[in-house]
Chains A and B, each alone.
Chain A
Amino acid sequence: MTTSRRRRPPEPPTTERLFAAQGAGLVEHQQRFGPLPELAGTALVPLLDRSGLTGRGGAGFPAGRKIAAVTGRRAVVIGNGAEGEPLSRKDAELLSRAPHLVLDGLKVAAAAVSADKVVMYVPSRTVSTIRTALSERRSAKVDRHPVTVVAAPDGFVAGEESAVVRRVEGGPALPRDRTVPSSTSGVRGRPTLVNNVETLAHIALIARYGSRWFRSLGDPSEPGTMLVTLTGGPTTPSVLEVPTGTRLTDLVGHLGVADPRALRAVLLGGYHGSWISGAMVTGARLSRAGLAHLGASPGAGIIHALPADQCGLARTADVLGYLAGESARQCGPCRNGLPQLARLFEDLGYHRVDDRLVDEVCRMIDLIDGRGSCRHPDGTARLARSALDAFASDITHHRHRRCEAALTSVHGAGGPRHRTSGSR
């Protein structure tokens, strides 16, 4: 293997990887990262397997295995940037600051599955950024296949895999019933690979710098770095790139929270994730292994802090109301159950609580869990269960018509954040 002696290749990035380039343009991208090597078609999967990259869209499925499952002719590759989760902005940030990394990853993945249709699925406000990046690449003749840009509607379920496939086919961005995975039969029955844009960006870096480089940071069982969106603290919301397995205390510190035990709770993984109480934050790490014992998972890197003067049950009731509104309303149990669960939680959070109510809430959670074409009811059930767990003491307080949040509110400044507007 001879390397070109014309120029030394740029040094691989160390801690800041995804945002290492000086700007979002193609020139800055190529300056910082160098050219994208041509990988032999079969080389990508073993490379990704060795690197241990898992999907960054929330499910955390091993990237190599996902690509290996896409076999057959006329494959389709879709980069999914439809970040429907209100608490997440990492994909938006990535697309605006490093679109070429994402597009490189898309190119590599497309070559690996011999795709003849390559799509970027992004929110409407990001379409022009991607189009600009694509025209830069066209002028420089970077991509082999033309990339189609499909606008994703705003909405929580618009990024769900079967909804993505349906939208790319020209239909509505609503989930579809599936008896076989998209890798077998997706867009118009063709084998389809759908990858989160951050996953693609990591693939672009691994293709350049190899698996050992990728593994040099992060938790050995799920290595590398990941983007997190931090919200809920005194500082403004931010997106950070951190190694996997980072201590939650450090992350919460970035939010301007000095002592996590002063927080009422932290929501991990977004609206389909889990609450953990403030006390549990110390000692927890941002990885599957580091959170499993708390019944939580990093998901798509969403970390949302709930201050002590806010009531977790009330906040959850608001979120459940939002999730009920975001149902695609195609499936009976979801369409009927989510609004009912939201109403019950409203009682739990804002009104009178008794044994019967708690039982009803538990029953309703069981009724929605696993009963729909997509995982929207499952994720909603997960959130609700974690709330019952993390805020168990609040339930006791509410039974006696008290609220810890009200007791903790600072000298009447703004009062207890109990009756939040609930509007979204």
Chain B
Amino acid sequence: MRTASTSPTRLHIDWTRCHGRGLCTELLPRLLGRDVWGYPIARDGSREPAVPSSALSEARTAVDLCPRLALSLITDVNRGPGNRKAGTSL
């Protein structure tokens, strides 16, 4: 059984809300770049980039500060069946 510390935290972007304001790209420069229209782009090319534990606090700040509430942090733990509301800020 996996414990919370082994399942990676991932950053989920709600693209229908994102306006590419760029706050998250400032707070998480190693995780996110910015495309030609200003939207965040995961440097590792994944849909939901994994957040290393060293960047977890900045990630939480980004989730909190995003003016469009477009970010959330997901772990595999809270994505399973029975959890209706995954993606609330950790």
Contacts and interface: CB of A to CB of B under 8 A. Distances in A.
A179 B72 CA distance: 9
Contacts of A343: none
Interface residues of B, number: 27
A333 B41 CA distance: 10
A373 B18 CA distance: 11
A216 interface: no
B83 A367 contact: no
Interface in B43-89: 45-47, 72, 74, 79, 81-87
Interface in A159-192: 175-177, 179-180, 183-185, 189
Contacts of B85: 180, 185
Interface string A12-28: 00000000000000000
Q: State the main secondary structure of chain B at its contact with A.
A: loop
B41 A371 contact: yes
Interface in B1-28: 12, 14-20
Given A180-B86, A336-B37, A370-B45, A330 B81 contact: no
Interface string A61-102: 000000001011000000000000000000000000000000
B83 A184 contact: yes
Nearest to B35: A367
Contacts of A371: 15, 39, 41, 47
Nearest to A368: B35
Contacts, number: 63
A179 B89 CA distance: 12
A333 B39 contact: yes
Nearest to B81: A184
A373 B84 contact: no
A367 B82 CA distance: 34
Interface string A317-350: 0000000000000111110110000000000000
Contacts of A245: none
A190 to B, nearest CB: 9
A184 B82 contact: yes
B55 to A, nearest CB: 20
A372 interface: yes
A121 B89 CA distance: 34
Interface of B: 12, 14-20, 35-39, 41, 45-47, 72, 74, 79, 81-87
5 closest A-B pairs (Cβ-Cβ)? A179-B87, A331-B15, A177-B14, A330-B16, A179-B86
5 contacts: A72-B82, A177-B16, A185-B84, A332-B38, A333-B37
